[in-house]
Structure 1
Amino acid sequence: MGFFIEAFLGGLMAGMLYSLVALGFVLIYKASGVFNFAQGAMVLFAALAMARFSEWIPAWLGLENKFLGNLIAFVLAGAVMFVLAWLIERLVLRHLVNQEGVTLLMATLGITYFLDGLGQTIFGSDIYQIDVGMPKDPLFLFENTFDGGVLVNLEDVYAACIAALLVAVLSLFFQKTSTGRALRAVADDHQAAQSIGIPLNRIWVIVWFVAGLTALVAGVIWGSKLGVQFSLTTVALRALPVIILGGLTSVPGAIIGGLIIGVGEKLSEVYLGPYVGGGIEIWFAYMVALVFLLFRPQGLFGEKIIDRV
């Protein structure tokens, strides 16, 4: 039982990180109706900015306080993501208003390759470390209840709590604020939203900035765990089954989908892996996504599209 709880908790914490990455896809889709292939590149770009600023700021300002240096680096990285959102709206999205979805999709592919190249040019292409002070020592729980206790990674606990807090804030933002309602209106119909006075350009800057902040938090967490390297862009691929499962238009769906995928991966690897030769954690999520695409393509919480002819 203790081993099951250990695997279950590990899956929940991994699932929260998947949800955090998936949120970036959901945010962009809710505001523009397009799947944002650039989300992985945004995670990498934000992580590179955070890693390099955390190195440069103490040297530039002569700071010895590590927390203050990381805080300033995070604020500067957030400012970079705002400038990036503004440039994407000004140079790309503004010229593609009311265009077909496939046109916007191809635009995000172009943004992906541009960010990959720009990140290497500005911040370098080495492997960088992000140290924000999250503890990396393991913690043993329920030692008196289960033999050997339940092993929990403290860094994963901190990361899951941060991801959960951000998810809660974004959920409230979409449900309770006028800007959040405007984002949903823009996603439903660009022309109708403009006709009632919703400034489409400003909304797109806001949503790309929020998606950029989400990418920054995800990049910091994943960079702290794995190091900042260009393979970090593939973390977006781990979020694809999450949004297929939860639904492209649902913030709660991204959360629930991430938790289901995270727990499913861990438990399947532990209990089914020995019977199929291991490695099931790599493809389990995609098999689940395939089943949903066949029988419920809109996901658990996505909106079902009904075309009347």
Structure 2
Amino acid sequence: MQFFLEIVISGILAGLMYSLVALGFVLIFKASGVLNFAQGAMVYAAALAVVGFIDYGVPMWLAIIASFVFMVIIGICTEKFVLGKLVNQPPITLFMATIGLTFFIDGLAPILFGNDVRPIDLGIVDEPIEAIMDLTGIGISKLDLFSSGVIILLVILLALLFQYTKIGRALRAVADDHQAALSLGIPLENIWTIVWAIAGFVALVAGLLWGSRNGVQYALSLTALKALPVLILGGFTSVPGAIVGGIIIGVSEKLAEIYIPPVLQNAFGGNFGGIEGWFPYIFALLFLLIRPEGLFGEKHIDRV
């Protein structure tokens, strides 16, 4: 039982990290209806900017601020020169534009900050917390616990922003109906710029946490792929859905990694290692057949 609980807790902590990347997708999709495939590249660029500025001799705290400014500039340029030029175009056109943006960011960031694999030191050692280990026998990493706390705090702040601020109300109005928001005098371009800036901040937080765990490397850009099953489960427009979906994917991935390979090997023989790499996508595909809109998504009905 203790081993099972340790796997579940590990899955929850990993799932929260997936949720952080999915959160960037949700923010942009809610406000503009664009599935931003470049979110993973933004995570990579943000982390690379931090270590790049540090290599230039900038203190850690100032490097984080400079990286945030860099991500805001990317967001503003994306809205002004890419998506802003494609207003009222089919969704597939906007999606393809974000794919092109992915390759552009993946190429630009290494040119500016180098592409060597480098760690991010947040001052937190990735080792089990002794007090919890002694009390329960379950190993929970200090870094994982810190990352989970940061993610939960970020979600609370975003929820407060959306619910109780003027900008948040404007964001929700734009998400509900672009034309109605325009008729009320809400400037769409300004709102989209703000959303991209917030998504850049989320990417920066994700880059710091993922980079401190795995090092800053191109693989961070591929974390966007792991966020897709999270979005399918939670819904593309729900902030709580991103968190719940991430936890479900993280826990199911860890359980599948431990318990499914022995069953398949006994039944068919051979090697079934690496199941955690594809299981989330199969799980999400099966979920699509049952509830296509996701756990927290709204059903879309076209009236003809």
* Cα distance in structure 2, aligned partners of 1:88 and 1:142: 45
* Cα distance in structure 2, aligned partners of 1:140 and 1:257: 30
Contact 2:241 2:295 in 1 (8 A): yes
Residue of structure 2 in register with 1:271 after alignment: 259
Map 1:111-130 to 2 at 5 A. Answer: 111-130=101-120
Residue of structure 2 in register with 1:224 after alignment: 212
Alpha-carbon RMSD: 1.6
Contact 1:26 1:248 in 2 (8 A): yes
Calculate the TM-score normalised by the size of structure 1. Answer: 0.91
The one-letter amino acid paired with 2:22 is A
Contact 1:141 1:151 in 2 (8 A): no
Does residue 25 (structure 1) correspond to residue 25 (structure 2)? The answer is yes
Residue of structure 1 in register with 2:248 after alignment: 260
Residue of structure 2 in register with 1:61 after alignment: none
Q: Secondary structure at the match of 1:136?
A: coil
User: 1:142: Cα distance to partner?
Assistant: 5.4
Q: For 1:292, which of 287, 290, 301 is the aligned residue?
A: 287
Residue of structure 2 in register with 1:204 after alignment: 192
Q: Secondary structure at the match of 1:272?
A: helix
User: 1:86: Cα distance to partner?
Assistant: 1.3
Contact 1:98 1:191 in 2 (8 A): no
Calculate the TM-score normalised by the size of structure 2. Answer: 0.93
User: 1:235: Cα distance to partner?
Assistant: 0.7
Contact 1:140 1:150 in 2 (8 A): no
User: 1:228: Cα distance to partner?
Assistant: 0.8
Does residue 191 (structure 1) correspond to residue 186 (structure 2)? The answer is no
Map 1:76-155 to 2 at 5 A. Answer: 76-140=66-130, 149-155=137-143
* Cα distance in structure 1, aligned partners of 2:132 and 2:48: 38
* Cα distance in structure 2, aligned partners of 1:245 and 1:223: 26
User: 1:254: Cα distance to partner?
Assistant: 0.3
1:181-234 per-position Cα deviation (integer Å, ceiling 9, x unaligned): 222222333222112101111101100010001011101111111111112111
Residue of structure 2 in register with 1:2 after alignment: 2
Q: Which runs of 5+ in 1 are unaligned?
A: 59-68
User: 1:143: Cα distance to partner?
Assistant: 5.4
Deviates more, 1:288-297 or 1:91-100: 91-100
User: 1:84: Cα distance to partner?
Assistant: 1.2
* Cα distance in structure 2, aligned partners of 1:142 and 1:20: 25
* Cα distance in structure 2, aligned partners of 1:130 and 1:286: 30
* Cα distance in structure 2, aligned partners of 1:105 and 1:174: 25
Residue of structure 2 in register with 1:66 after alignment: none
Does residue 34 (structure 1) correspond to residue 34 (structure 2)? The answer is yes
Contact 2:133 2:140 in 1 (8 A): no
Residue of structure 1 in register with 2:296 after alignment: 301
Contact 2:132 2:139 in 1 (8 A): no
Q: List, as ranges, runs of 4+ consecutive aligned residues in structure 1 with deviation greater than 6 Å.
A: none
Residue of structure 2 in register with 1:176 after alignment: 164
Q: Secondary structure at the match of 2:36?
A: coil
* Cα distance in structure 2, aligned partners of 1:161 and 1:278: 32
Q: Secondary structure at the match of 1:57?
A: coil
User: 1:263: Cα distance to partner?
Assistant: 1.1
Q: For the structure 1 residues 145 and 188, does the alpha-carbon distance in structure 2 shift closer, same or farther, using more than 3 Å as the test?
A: closer
* Cα distance in structure 2, aligned partners of 1:206 and 1:216: 15
Does residue 73 (structure 1) correspond to residue 63 (structure 2)? The answer is yes
The one-letter amino acid paired with 1:302 is G
Contact 1:98 1:190 in 2 (8 A): no
Residue of structure 2 in register with 1:160 after alignment: 148
Q: Give percent identity, aligned residues only.
A: 55
